[in-house]
Amino acid sequence: MQIVKHELKEALISVVEALVPGEGGRAEFEIPKVPEHGDLAVTAAMPLAKKLKKSPRDIAESLKNALEKEFAFKKWVESMEIAGPGFLNIRLKLSARHQVIKEVLGQTNTYGFKAKRGEKVLVEFVSANPTGPLHVGHGRQGALGDAICNLFQTQGWDVHREFYYNDAGVQINTLALSTQMRAKGLKPGDSAWPTGENAAVYNGDYVADIARDYLAKKTVVSDDRSYTASGDLEDLESIREFAVAYLRREQDLDLKAFAVHFDEYYLESSLYTSGRVKQAVQSMINSGHTYEADGALWLRSTSYKDDKDRVMKKSDGTFTYFVPDVAYHLSKWERGFHKVVNIQGTDHHGTIARVRAGLQAASEVQNLGIPPSFPDYVLHTMVRVMRGGSEVKISKRAGSYVTLRDLIEWTSKDAVRFFFTSRKPDTEYVFDVDLALAQNNDNPVFYVQYAHARICSVLLKEQTDQSQSDLDEKGRMQKVIEVTKTFLATDLTPLDSVAAKTLTSQLARFPEVLSSSAENFAPHEISFYLRDLAGAYHSYYDAERILVEDMAIKNARLALVAATAQVIRNGLSVLGVSAPTHM
């Protein structure tokens, strides 16, 4: 269908340009909201009517007459009709509908993808402080971030995944002190253990694990560092280094279980040791948009549409947290990433304006040309977890929250990934553990995966001989891929039923869904689409028997469902979810 739409659009542009010079580039097709209205719609008559001082229906009639003479329209279009105030509804020939099946079978796992565009994008996500295990909020961020990266890759971007973590500051000192107390034999509940809502201490069992391994002088290795404990109870710096390395390794294990990887881990401490924070502050001062008041240094961020000015350096000489963020984003820009997406919790909403203000001030001085909207943000709400009808709030391992690994162990990586990408990021989300385990149509990931497995069962039943019945999952998938390739030259003429047309129309939507999802940072659009596609397949399966006696009909139907399985695989891959061949 991509080829069909491309040829039709070229013809539409040519006709509109001939009608009103300079307007051809704006010509677009729309997908009718009501399928009965056709496959494509042209709405150009309304805006062109003002320029030509004619009624939209008259313009639509002119467009229709001109388009009917175009070769592409003769080749692919069955009929056109004018509707409403001047809509031009287009119905495609069966051969045009069938083209999408051929495209899927020919392009397989790249169907819907765009060519490399020669541009790169940096997506920063998770970015958890190394002070404890990853919680379910980090999990939602990991699922969203990885899916958004995958979406950008489908649109031809060169994607760089980055994890920024604060390895300096008050929280790290709290971690070191908590580990030191545990190493000295203290524990929560002891009279000497700090208590209260604001107590500067971490109570989780994981701190005791760190202390035990520190005393044992163990070596821990994470993706970005290795450290051997000294075992010295009074060496707080050694305790700090070991604890950070230990928790980085723990987070690595969490991310591995979640099948999320990063290209780079960026340390907050490096912003200070490299002088980037100092340089960023000096640039903001040189911009003339700072001033001193009440013993503090302020950024006049109201000059850049912030609701109030912001403190940069407090009276005690320490920087507020948005200052290193400005330095960090200057680093991103200077590394050549002029498209940047930050995925963070909604609690970061207040930092957006001040970070952008700081970047604008520094950009003016350094003549960097950073746009006011840089960087982009995707903010997500936190996650509530329900199990057995009750909310789960505490994990013994973490001390005060449910960890990502808890959720994966209770359900599965696939369920957590799909569920976390099934809603808009900024909407409240309740993760229902019982629903994630249910093997019925109420469980969306099961519903989609079952559709794929059901198709694979049909394909393998028809094409696999008895000697191959004991294939493992990898072998079954390889056989499905081999079988799929055999249908590329199949005659699809028998696919003329309403159910077949409906399923084929869903396949044709996939490239546009990919494009829209990437543009809007909206992987939930993919999960919605996959449920629609699975529903269309289940309806088709119920309406038409696939393995019939007539070979021409059977092969055409097998080609259609093989293409459907391929698109389900492609969509699930974007979300980081597997596509099993049997369930």
- Report which of 387, 305, 377 is spatially closest to residue 341, judged by C-alpha positions: 377
Q: Which of 35, 63, 92 is the last residue of a domain?
A: 92
* 538 within domain boundaries: yes
Which CATH number does the domain housing residue 503 bear?
A: 1.10.730.10
Instruction: Taking residues 220-230, report their average pLDDT.
Output: 90
User: Tokens 């293409």 — which residue?
Assistant: 563
Domain co-membership, 448 together with 571 = yes
CATH number at residue 20: 3.30.1360.70
80 with 199, same domain: the answer is no
Mean pLDDT of 24-53: 86
Question: Across residues 318-326, what is the average pLDDT?
Answer: 94
**Which of 220, 252, 284 delimits the end of a domain?**
252
Distances (CA, A) of 208 to 115, 174, 474: 51, 14, 41
**Residue 36 binned pLDDT confidence (cut-offs 50, 70, 90):** confident
Binned at pLDDT 50, 70 and 90, residue 538 comes out as very high
In a domain, 337, yes or no: no
**Ranges 17-26, 102-111, 392-401, most confident:** 102-111
Q: What is the pLDDT of residues 286-314, one digit of tens each?
A: 999 999 999 999 999 999 999 999 999 99
At 443, the amino acid letter reads N
563 and 464, same domain (yes or no): yes
Specify if 323 maps to a domain: no
Question: Range of 542's domain?
Answer: 444-575
452 & 566 share domain? yes
Q: Is residue 259 part of a domain?
A: no
pTM: 0.91
pLDDT band at 480 (very low <50, low <70, confident <90, very high): very high
Q: Does residue 569 share a domain with residue 468?
A: yes
Mean pLDDT throughout 394-403?
73
Specify the pLDDT at position 464.
Answer: 60
**Cβ count within 10 A of residue 187:** 14
Classify residue 86: in a domain, yes or no: yes
- Picking from 233, 252, 271, the residue at the C-terminal end of a domain is 252
Share above pLDDT 90 across residues of the chain, in percent, rounded to a whole number: 84
Q: Say what the pLDDT of residue 166 is.
A: 85
Which amino acid does the sequence have at 524? H
Q: Where is pLDDT greater, at 139 or 133?
A: 139
* Pairs from 29-33 (Cβ < 8 Å, separation ≥ 24): 29/5, 29/90, 31/509, 31/512, 32/89
On whether residue 351 sits in a domain, the answer given is no
> Is residue 419 one of the residues assigned to a domain?
no
The structural domain count of the chain equals 3
Q: Which two tokens stand for residue 202?
A: 């971490």
Angle between helices 2-19 and 56-67 (to 10 degrees): 120
Sign of torsion over alpha carbons 565, 571, 574, 579:
negative
- Nearest-angstrom CA–CA distance, 263 and 250: 18
State mean pLDDT over 556-572. 98
Higher-confidence residue of 578 and 132: namely: 578
CA dihedral defined by 5, 6, 11, 16, rounded to 10 degrees?
90
> How confident is the prediction for the chain on average, in pLDDT?
93
Q: What is the pLDDT of residue 31?
A: 82
Which residue carries 């069966």 as its tokens? Answer: 94
Gap between the Cα atoms of 61 and 57, Å rounded? 6
Q: Average pLDDT of 524-545? A: 97
SS3 letters for 179-238?
Answer: HHHHHCCCCCCCCCCCCCCCCCCCCCHHHHHHHHHHHCCCEEECCCCEEECCCCCCCHHH
Q: Is residue 206 part of a domain?
A: yes
pLDDT at 163 over 50: yes
pLDDT band at 469 (very low <50, low <70, confident <90, very high): low
